[in-house]
Chains A and B, each alone.
Chain A
Amino acid sequence: MMKLLCAPLCALAVVCISAPTFAALGGDASSVEADRASMKGALRVTPTVDYSLHEIQTSAGVVIHEYVSADGKVFAVSWRGDGIPDLRQMLGGYYGQFAQATSQPHYNHHHLAVRTTDVVVESSGRARAFFGRAWAPALLPQNFSVHDIR
C-alpha cells in the first residue's frame, strides 16, 4: 500500500491527491489493474447487464474475482488458490472493520465468517486449497445475489 504525504503544494489545492492504494473492495476499476499488476496476473473482463466480472489469474494459478458495478465500483471480491491474497489489498478501506471483528478468538482454522456493519468476509480452506470472498452489502447492485460471488 502506498500513500503520498500531502506535499506543500496541496495546501494550495482544494483537495490533496494521494497516490493510488492497492485497494480492491470499494475501489474503482483502476484499483483492479493495480491488483493485477502487483500479482503479475492476466486479466479477463466479462460484462453482464448489471456489473462486470474482472478475473485476475496469476501464474501460480491463484484466481481473483473483482465484481465491478455499473458505476465503476468494486462491490465484491473472491479468491481461490493455494494461498490467500493480502486482505488489506483485497478489502481496502474495509480492512479495519474486518481486523477489529477477527481480533476475538474463533477456534476454527479452516473456516471464518465475519459480518460487520459494512462488510462481509468469508474464508475457508486448508493447505494449498483456499477460497474466500468478501462484499460490501451497501454497494451491491439491485437484484444481485451474493450466491454469484464465487
Chain B
Amino acid sequence: MRKLFALIPVLFLPLTGCSGGGGATTTTPPPPPPPPSQVIATPGPPNVESLTVDAGPNALTTPAVNTAFISVRVCVPDGTFSNCQTIDHVEVDTGSIGLRVIASGPPGGLLSPTMLPAEQGVATLAECLQFADGSSWGTVNVADIELPVSGEKATNVQIEVIGAPAAGSPPAGCPGNPENTVPLFGANGILGVGPFINDCNSVGDCTPRNPPTSAGYFTCPTPTTCTTTTTHLASSGTHPYQVQNPIVQFASHADGTLDNNGVIVELPPVSTSGAVGPVSGSLVFGIGTQGNNAISGATKLLADSGSGVISARLNSSTYPNSYLDSGSNATFFSDASLSACGGANNGFYCTGGSPVSESATLQGTNGTMLTADFSVADASTLFMNKSLVAFSNLGGPNSDGTALDLGLSYFYGRNVFTGLENPNVAPPYFAY
C-alpha cells in the first residue's frame, strides 16, 4: 500500500521556520522528539560507545551521508593498553565483519608490523575483503583494541591494516576495485559488527576458492609474491585465524558480564528535510547482557543462518533476501514506479515533488512479522543543502530485485538490534 504524504503525522512537532527550498540560508526545522518507546543509552562504561553521524574525516573528497562513526583505540598487543592510538571516524557497519583500519590514515607509525605483529602461522598474512563496491587489500595484524568511551576491551584481535606496505599492491587473486586509502574508502576504518562471528566461514576453514569467498587470505613472503592460503576458526587454536567479529573477543567485565552477542545502533529521529552533523547517538554492545540492552518490546526476526537475510513484502512484491544494514546509506529496493536521479546522484531515487510513503512487512525465518514504514523523498532536494548529513527518507534503487536493504535512513528514531549467530546453535537476528 502506498500513499503520498498529504499531512504531517501528529506524533511529530509542527514544522516551524522556513519551508526550505533554494538558498544556502535555509533553516532546518527542529527534529521531532523521539517516540516514547525509544530510549537511547547514555555513552559510557560498561558498554555504550558514542556514535556520530557526520560528514566523515577531512580527507574525504565529498561529504559522507548517512554514515555513522565511532572512535577506536588500537594498541600494541601486550595487554597493558598503554601504547595506543585513537582512530576517529571508524564507520560502524552491521553488514560486514571485522575491524579494519587504513594504514595511511591517522595512526601513522603505530600501524607497522614492528608495533603490531603480524598474525602467526604463515609469512605475513594478507587479506582481500570484498565489498559490493570494491575490495580492501592489506595485512592482518594483531592488536589490543579498546573502545574509548565504553571501555570495552579485546586482546590479540586480528585486524586488517588496509594498504599496509608489507602486502604490496593487490595481486591478481584480489580483483575488485581497490579502496585502500581514506579518500577512496570513505572513512579512517570500519568496524564490522555484522551478524557472523568471522568474515569468511563460521563453521570451518576459509579455503581459497574460485569465485573467491567474501574474505580471501594470502601469505606474502614478500610484497610481490602473495599466494592464496587457508585460515582457520579461532576456536580451532590453529593459526592463522580468520578475522573475527571484534565483539566475540571482548573481555568480561569485573562483574563477570560480557557483551559479545550483538550490538544495538541507537540514533535519534531527524527532521524530514535532513539534519546537519553531528547527529549523536549510541552504539550499544551486547543484547540482554546489561541493564541498558534488553530486547524488551522489540520484535525479533530470525535470519537465515547462511546468508543472514530475512524476507520482506512491499507493494505486492516479495523480497526474500532482505536485511537491515547500518553500512548502507539509504534504503535500497527495486521499484519500477520510482526513478533514479540523473547524474552523480543516480544511486538514489528522485521522486519529484512529494515524498512517497512505503509500508513493508518484514518476516523472520521463525514466521514473525514486523512492519517497516518508511518514506522516500527526492534525493536532489535533500542534497541541495550541502551541510546536511543525515536523512531518514533517502532511498535508492537496488540492482538486486530480491532485496529490501533497510539502511541507516531507517535507523533514525528506533533502536535496531543485530544479534550475532551462535554457529550451529542459533541463527543471527534483527530486532526493533
Contact = CB atoms under 8 A, between A and B. Distances in A.
Q: Which of B64, B93, B192, B307 has its CB near the most chain A CB atoms (within 10 A)? A: B307
Interface string B392-404: 0000111111110
A123 B347 CA distance: 11
B399 A132 contact: yes
B210 A108 contact: no
Contacts of B186: 105, 107-109
B133 interface: yes
Interface string A113-150: 10100000011111111111100000000000001001
A89 B173 CA distance: 11
B132 A84 contact: yes
Interface stretch (A13-21, A42-50, A75-83): A75-83
B210 A126 contact: no
Given A39-B211, A82-B213, A129-B321, A111 B308 contact: no
B132 A107 contact: no
B309 interface: yes
Interface in A9-29: none
A14 B28 CA distance: 70
B133 A82 contact: no
A87 interface: yes
B405 A124 contact: yes
Contact of B132 (A86, A109, A147): A109
Given A126-B95, A127-B192, A87 B175 contact: yes
A102 B194 contact: no
Contacts of A6: none
Q: Mostly helix, strand, loop or mixed at chain B's interface?
A: loop
A126 B327 contact: yes
A68 interface: no
Contact of A133 (B190, B323, B399): B399
B213 to A, nearest CB: 5
A109 B95 contact: yes
B426 to A, nearest CB: 17
B306 A105 contact: no
B96 interface: yes
B209 A107 contact: no
A83 B196 CA distance: 15
A62 to B, nearest CB: 5
A86 B175 contact: yes
Contact of A125 (B132, B177, B340): B132
Interface in B201-260: 209-214
B133 A108 contact: yes
Given A84-B211, A127-B199, A107 B131 contact: no
A106 to B, nearest CB: 6
Interface of A: 38-40, 58, 60, 62, 64, 79-89, 98-99, 102-103, 105-113, 115, 122-133, 147, 150
Interface residues of B, number: 59
A82 B346 contact: no
B402 A131 contact: yes
B211 A105 contact: no
B177 A102 contact: yes
Contact of A83 (B134, B212, B323): B212
Contact of A86 (B210, B321, B340, B407): B210
A85 B308 contact: no
Interface string B266-301: 000000000000000000000000000000000000
B197 to A, nearest CB: 11
Nearest first, the 9 A-B pairs at minimum CB distance are A126-B95, A122-B399, A107-B186, A85-B211, A131-B400, A112-B133, A102-B177, A109-B131, A129-B307
B93 A109 contact: yes
Contact of B328 (A82, A110, A130): A110
A109 B129 CA distance: 11
A105 B307 contact: no
A113 B131 contact: no
B61 interface: yes
Given A123-B399, A125-B400, A109 B184 contact: no
Contacts of B62: 105, 107
Contact of B332 (A58, A88, A124, A130): A124
A25 B325 CA distance: 31
B52 interface: no
B409 interface: no
B331 to A, nearest CB: 11
Given A105-B184, A125-B400, A112 B132 contact: yes
